Structure formats: structure tokens, C-alpha cells
Structure 1
Amino acid sequence: MSEPRINDRIRVPEVRLVGPKGEQIGVVSVNRALRLAREAGLDLVEVAPRSKPPVAKLMDYGKFKYEAAQKAREARRNQTNAQLKEIRFRLKIDSHDYETKKGHVIRFLKAGDKVKVMIMFRGREQSRPEFGYRLLMKLADELKEYATIEFKPRQDGRNMTMVLAPTRTKAEIRAEAERARREAERAEADAEQAD
């Protein structure tokens, strides 16, 4: 968005003026609006240049720009950057290997990422896809506190895939970690004061 015109850059004969607390002052000449802005120690900022007459507001422009930059930074920080992680299973997987891979899936889900679980079929295994389906549904059932099934298991050539989505978003996980960090710092500061 382009910078709004402020103070002497406003080149229209009159504006609809809004006060610093949002109150409507009315349609006034630009000279009178500038005089009111100087008396209040504020800036005259054109907030709606396309309306007839343009709308201008009395405000502290530096503070306005700072707050807008803070909001934009906060929005970027809270943006979710969920990735799609992939983990592969074999149909004849050993129980220890299964538990290890399940642990990886849990770690990905706790971090807020989606997980694509894939079972690869070889040779005669392709004729029995129901075994793969059962294995994927068993995994989904064991992980229901961490994830929901986004895409049910489906055969795709030699592979069967299923996508699991985390129950909590990355922004929620990040906010919870930040809250826990602040509480730990507060507890540490209280312990130091007690000594």
C-alpha cells in the first residue's frame, strides 16, 4: 500500500475531518484542518483519498506507522509454515521399527507439521492391499490424540498413502512454548528473589 498523504501534501480544497478519538468533526477546509492539527500537536493524515470529499484524520503519524509495522511483524511471525513430512513403511515391518517410525510421526505432529504416511508394496504384497489399509488405520488409531486423518488411505500404484494433520496448529504450539518459557523465567526470577 502506498504512503498516505499527510499535512501539507494534501492538495484538495476540503476534507471530511475525523478527530483523534474517532469523533466526526465534519467537512472543513484543508487550512482549518491543518490549523486544528497544529493546535493539537498532531498530523493531518488522509485515510480515504477516493471518497468525496476525502477523509482525513488527526493522529500522531509516527506512532501510527510504528503500530502498523508492529502488526505486520506480528502477522508474519504467526503465519503458519506447516510442512508435509513423509514417512515410509513396509508391509512386513518389525514391531520395533514400527514403534520407531511412529515416534518420528509423533515428533512431526507435535511440531505442527502434516505427515504423509506411505506403505510400499513389493511383488505379491500388491495383491493384498487390505493389509496395508489395516496397518495405516492402526497407526491413525494409535495417534488420534495427536492427529486427525486428512486423507483416508488410498492405493496409488505400488504405494498406499494417508495424510495425517496435527490437532493443533503451529501458531498454537509456538504460543504455548513462549508461554511456558515466560513462566519458567518468572519462576526463576521468583526463586532468585527468595534467596
Structure 2
Amino acid sequence: MKLAETKKMDLVVVSPTAVPPVCRIMNYGKYKYSMEKKEKESKKKQKVINVKEIRMTPNIEDHDLGVKAKNASKFLQDGDRVKVVVRFRGRELGHTDVGRKVLLQFAKMTEDYSSIDKYPMIEGKNMTMFLVPKK
């Protein structure tokens, strides 16, 4: 501590859990500023990935499916993930194979821009599938 005072610098504990604790003589204000600068720089390089959701029913018409596929293509081109959900009501739960066909047809319609991240899985009354943008 005396050494740090004579150099008019700070004594900073680098690794407090080590035996003996590791300390360093440095200008703490300058060190803190450089760490904040590095953190800001790393945040700039990160890309936020949003998840967009598209809902439909198992007995959706072809044209409606095409419109939803077109919207999903826009989301995928923007770099977002797409969660495609088919909702089953009442007796439709007995025909989950129809929902799976709809989801796979949807994936085929958007295959120019996407690849399947998670294949269709049933969760309660919904069947979900995740699409990720192609690189």
C-alpha cells in the first residue's frame, strides 16, 4: 500500500480468492474507463435476434398459408427467428397429423430463406416449429 501511495496510484485486488490474494498497482480510474469502453464495443458487435410468431389452424386455406409464408419470409430476411404455431380446437386434437403436414408445407414454402431449427412438436393444444434464417 505504501508503494502505491508513493507512486500516487491505486492498489487493486485482481484475484481475491487466490492464496495469497493477487494485487496490482494501477490507476483505477483509467482501468475502469478502458473496461467500460471494451464492454460498449462488444455490445455493438452483438446482434439482437427477435422471435416472431405466426399462428394458424390445421384447416388453413392454401392462399392464407401463402400470405403467412410471405410474411415469414420477410421476417427471416430481416434476420429474425420465426415460431410457427398451429392451434387445435376440440376434435382437431385427434388429427395432429394434419397440423404436422401444414407446418412442413409452410417450411417448404419458406425454404429459400430458412431452415428448420426445431421440427414440429405438440405442446398441449398447440403444435410448434421454429425456423431460423439461412446464412
- TM-score (normalizing by structure 2): 0.69
Q: CA deviation at 1:60?
A: 4.8
Q: Which residue of 1 aligns with 2:14?
A: 48
- Give 1:97-116 correspondences, 5 Å limit: 97-116=64-83
Alignment partners' CA distance in 2, 1:69 and 1:145: 41
Gaps of 5+ in 2: none
Q: Which residue of 1 aligns with 2:57?
A: 90
Alignment partners' CA distance in 2, 1:84 and 1:130: 25
Structure with greater contact order relative to length (CA < 8 Å, sep ≥ 6)? 2
- Give 1:1-195 correspondences, 5 Å limit: 10=1, 30-31=2-3, 34-35=5-6, 37=7, 43-48=9-14, 50=16, 52=20, 54-57=22-25, 59-79=26-46, 81-122=48-89, 125-167=92-134
- TM-score (normalizing by structure 1): 0.51
Larger Rg: 1
Alignment partners' CA distance in 1, 2:104 and 2:14: 56
Alignment RMSD:
3.2
> Alpha carbons of 1:47 and 1:85: their partners in 2 closer, same or farther (altered >3 Å)?
same
Q: Percent identity?
A: 34
Secondary structure of 1:128 counterpart: helix
Q: Which residue of 2 aligns with 1:27?
A: none
